[in-house]
């Protein structure tokens, strides 16, 4: 999924989604007790898009911005306001940093300074591209039989194109 994010120029939301998928749900309230708050928060971050993945991407974007621009205390207040587990959010923030270092070290991206990441985020606001990358990353070996015989063509490109 990370490599698709690099190729499709939507690294930041994909890093956020991967960090959540690699860990627990950051909402700390049990589902029964906190379902209303969880639902409100999901709807707030997802906007008109009905996707948990997009909601997590926007949630992480808001948290990361607050932490970067206003510090840990503001990020802690944000977690409390939205019923988020602070430790998980910090762990996921750190995971994104590790994944960025990995992409740079392995030369999947060529970053000379912090603003260099902007080149790999041209499509970060495009919901269709981001969700297409998520689909391609979660289902990389999907095939479709076309015509007669045993001809198979990879569906990943088709899945990405349907979102564009």
Walking along the chain (164 residues) 10 residues at a time, the average pLDDT comes out as 92 93 75 62 77 89 88 87 87 91 91 80 92 88 54 50 50
Q: Which of 19, 21, 63 is nearest to 41 (CA)?
A: 63
pLDDT of residue 101: 92
What distance in Å separates the CA atoms of residue 97 and residue 125, rounded to the nearest whole number?
A: 20
Domain membership of residue 149 as a residue range:
2-163
Task: Count the domains in the chain.
Answer: 1
**Predicted local confidence at residue 13, as pLDDT:** 94
pTM, entire model: 0.78
Is there a contact between 124 and 10 (Cβ–Cβ < 8 Å)? yes
């Amino acid at each position: 999924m990370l490599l698709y994010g690099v190729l499709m120029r939507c690294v930041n939301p994909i890093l956020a989604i991967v960090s959540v998928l690699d860990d627990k749900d950051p909402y700390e309230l049990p589902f029964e007790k906190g379902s209303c708050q969880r639902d409100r928060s999901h709807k707030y971050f997802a906007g008109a898009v009905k996707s948990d993945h997009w909601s997590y991407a926007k949630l992480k974007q808001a948290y990361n911005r607050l932490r970067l621009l206003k510090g840990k205390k503001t990020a802690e207040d944000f977690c409390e306001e939205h019923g988020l587990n602070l430790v998980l959010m910090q762990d996921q923030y750190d995971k994104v940093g590790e994944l960025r270092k990995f992409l740079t070290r392995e030369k999947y991206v060529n970053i000379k300074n912090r603003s260099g990441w902007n080149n790999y985020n041209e499509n970060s606001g495009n919901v269709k591209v981001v969700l297409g990358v998520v689909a391609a990353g979660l289902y990389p070996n999907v095939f479709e039989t076309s015509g007669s015989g045993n001809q198979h063509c990879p569906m990943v490109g088709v899945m990405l194109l349907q979102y564009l």
